[in-house]
Structure 1
Amino acid sequence: MIRLAEAADEAAVRACAERAYSPYIAAIGRPPAPMAADYRALIAAGQVHVSLAGDGALLGFIVFRAEAGHMLLENVAVQPAAAGRGVGGALIRFCEDQARRLGLHAVRLYTNEKMSENLAIYPRLGYREVARRVEDGFARVFFEKPLG
């Protein structure tokens, strides 16, 4: 089940981000940006959705917001114990569906160039690389998926 995050979800969302992104600290040289995100503010702004197991445990979350003509998928994270079960793919499809519902023409996202798994996954999901640049001290790879 995917639903809009609530204030009570903040601690679980933050813990999921810590677990999902901490393996990348050594490769990047510092904590990835999602580890420092203000999840309280993002949840309050209605930008976070959570994926829950049948027992209510958080499996993963996604952060996205509508921008001019596209949806910006800012962050998707899955509990390591739930990896490989389709949680991330379902969250990304949910984001894409929300973009279509709003009449947006594309979903855009970025990932760190050191997150090689993501560089392989996003093209398989229909995203194409559109740019590489350094932002906020992070070497980022930008992707876009046109929506039909």
Structure 2
Amino acid sequence: MPTTLPLPYDYARRVVPESADMPPAPASLRVRRAASSDLDDLVALELRSFSSDRLSRAQYRRHLDSDSALVLVASANHHLFLGSAVLFFRKRSAVARLYSLATRPEARGQGVGAALLEAAAVAARRRGSRALRLEVRTDNAAAIGLYERHGFRRIGRYARYYGDGTDAWRYEKTLG
């Protein structure tokens, strides 16, 4: 049975210390598990956040109903999604996978990604994971910087990983 975050997860209680290169999350930012009723907003956020390699409506629907996936949303109020994260868990594996991290373009640099990363780490720990892995485009300097500031270390490279042929870095964070 999956373990979930208390709803809503109050990012203001986060454990990650503030630093000069990590802007604080908006005071009203909340991260919670997504519900089936959030499907339209998740798809709209996906369309605004990515120009390719997007999750489809059917994929989101499947992930929202899956015991092996967790979809998180960050919002300033219940109806304005600022970001989302999709995590995958495999049976008998101590490694969780952050499959997707999306942030509204106008909310980037405001702590939304940091809030989602922290909530993802909390959720993965509660599910018994000892590590969190992800892939990121080698040309996405902003995301790479975010992951590295939050303790992820580069562990590999995948050639031509994305649909447009771009390579991906593989990152991992040990969960304490």
Matches within 5 A, 1:1-148: 1-22=30-51, 31=52, 33-36=53-56, 38-45=59-66, 46-54=69-77, 56-67=79-90, 68-134=93-159, 135=161, 137=163, 138=165, 139-148=167-176
> Which string of whole-angstrom CA distances, capped at 9 and with x for unpartnered residues, describes residues 42-73 of structure 1?
12225211112135311111100223111100
Matched residue count: 139
Compute the displacement of 1:36 (Å): 4.4
Structure having the higher strand fraction is 1
After TM superposition, the structure 1 stretch with the greater mean CA deviation from structure 2, 89-98 or 34-43, is 34-43
List gaps (5 residues or longer) in structure 2.
Answer: 1-29
In 1, Cα distance between equivalents of 2:126 and 2:145: 27
- Deviation of 1:16 after TM superposition, in Å, equals 1.0
Q: CA deviation at 1:136?
A: 6.0
Structure 1 unaligned blocks of 5 or more: 23-30
Higher helix proportion (structure 1 or 2): 1
Contact 2:136–2:170 (CA under 8 A) maintained in structure 1: yes
Q: Contact 2:162/2:168 (CA < 8 Å) preserved in 1?
A: no
Q: Is the 8 A contact 2:94 2:130 kept in 1?
A: yes
What SS class does the counterpart of residue 126 from structure 1 fall into?
coil
| CA deviation after TM superposition for structure 1 residue 120, in Å | 2.2
Letter in 2 for 1:16: L
The CA deviation at 1:35 is 4.5
Provide Cα deviations, 1:82-108, integer angstroms capped at 9, x if missing partner: 222211111110010111122211110
Q: Judge conservation of contact 1:63–1:74 (CA < 8 Å) in 2.
A: yes
Contact persistence 2:152–2:173 (CA under 8 A): yes
Q: TM-score, normalised by structure 1?
A: 0.84
Separation in structure 1 between the aligned mates of residue 65 and residue 126 of structure 2, nearest angstrom: 22
- CA RMSD after TM alignment: 1.8
